[in-house]
Structure 1
């Protein structure tokens, strides 16, 4: 019989929050027979950036990918439990996964612009979802998305150039603009700065702060300083379990679980 995980420590301030955009209850993820995530329950607030932290291989990225069903693309992956977006079960057989991924966008660890022009990188999503009714509508969406991503002034005179010709930091902001273009409700970011230099990282962090409140944002990061800078909620994962979830300042200054304290103070990780 499988050993039950230790109960997650949820700080009181979050236990009674009622503005959750997404909720997960008893979510487990398997790769074949291997359990990568073990009965995780968490709420994602509409107005805050939530950071998932923890050592490599602890399940935080696997869990993140559950929120827009990216694990569906892995043949041996299986997800159990309940995840809801605005009260709707995203794993219901009637859920349109394409529409779900428009509502819950994803920005990956390595920038992955399409081998198309900067303009077409942004226009692709709105075009396939039928969001723009005219060329002028599409132009507006492209400009608005690039502006929100802090990239418009850098690329407005070269929209016909390939997105892959941009610097790494610009490519990542282009990918964020691409996610924004379909007007999502949630943005998932899987270590979005791990391949970037410090200057580009600072720009992406500034962008995350500017986007907060417009979208529910969840970020996976190995960089605890980054989590402390950009998030207002932090969830600490270890060995596939959610150990502790609370306000970021509390997690970093007054963690309640011994494993969280040991990780924050560098005793392991």
Structure 2
């Protein structure tokens, strides 16, 4: 069920199905992602929420058996069109993964990597400013400004995840996808990431996949509930959690399965 948001639509999916070989993982999902809200994807394990997230920046292209049907647009442009530059797409639609994955490089080089390969920093001063701005937006600058040349892998788990968010932000994306970004973190680091998501809302269209329903309720304004490869319900987070239209949503929210 599709619920069209009044906010500016950044990405739109229509009748998206995903197959891995003969196995169908997603069945005709239609959803709008808007600029002004954080959108959460919830549902039990194996329901298709991460699979769908990966279609939004063509991460499924890396899986030889994967096939995507339907259309997904970014600012009205079909991202699966043969003319789409996938490297450029992934700069515009950044991804933060479940497990923090900093490069085995310095903190500075982790953040500078994207601007360098995309030609976004013409001088060292520009690059320095870009790195600082990204680390500030990710809430990490004050913690690392005196050790930018230390290895990114030496940071704590929560700091590593914020470094990965800074790395995504550094190429000036329009959309940030987060695939269970707090599942490997302790409660304090989780709270910091949730606070960061709140601070970034409105600057980027943000989509978060989470198993944690309390987290979805805290960080998102719109929630999509997936079950068995279908999008069961999509609407305002408060409605999904307090007044769901579908029995399957109600059963999941109240803990009858999942």
Using the size of structure 2 for normalisation, the TM-score is: 0.99
1:253 to 230, 242, 245: 242
CA distance in 2, matches of 1:246, 1:59: 18
Length, aligned pairs only: 258
5 Å-filtered alignment, 1:168-179, equals 168-179=157-168
SS at match of 2:232: strand
CA distance in 2, matches of 1:19, 1:62: 24
Gaps spanning 5+ residues in structure 2: where? none
Give the drift of 1:31: 0.5
1:93 to 57, 75, 82: 82
Q: 2:182 maps to what in 1?
A: 193
Using the size of structure 1 for normalisation, the TM-score is: 0.95
CA distance in 2, matches of 1:188, 1:89: 18
CA distance in 2, matches of 1:47, 1:98: 25
Q: Find out whether 1:35 has 2:33 as its counterpart.
A: no
Give the drift of 1:16: 5.7
CA distance in 2, matches of 1:221, 1:80: 25
Summarize deviations over 1:84-114 as a string: whole Å, max 9, x none.
0000000000000000000000000000000
Q: 2:45 maps to what in 1?
A: 56
Q: 2:10 maps to what in 1?
A: 21
Report if aligned partners of 2:41, 2:226 keep a CA contact under 8 Å in 1.
yes
Q: Find out whether 1:153 has 2:142 as its counterpart.
A: yes
CA distance in 1, matches of 2:146, 2:191: 24
Q: Find out whether 1:221 has 2:210 as its counterpart.
A: yes
Gaps spanning 5+ residues in structure 1: where? 1-7
Report if aligned partners of 2:37, 2:221 keep a CA contact under 8 Å in 1.
yes
CA distance in 2, matches of 1:213, 1:71: 27
Q: Find out whether 1:111 has 2:100 as its counterpart.
A: yes
CA distance in 2, matches of 1:16, 1:161: 44
CA distance in 2, matches of 1:172, 1:107: 8
SS at match of 2:255: coil
SS at match of 2:30: strand
Q: Find out whether 1:129 has 2:106 as its counterpart.
A: no
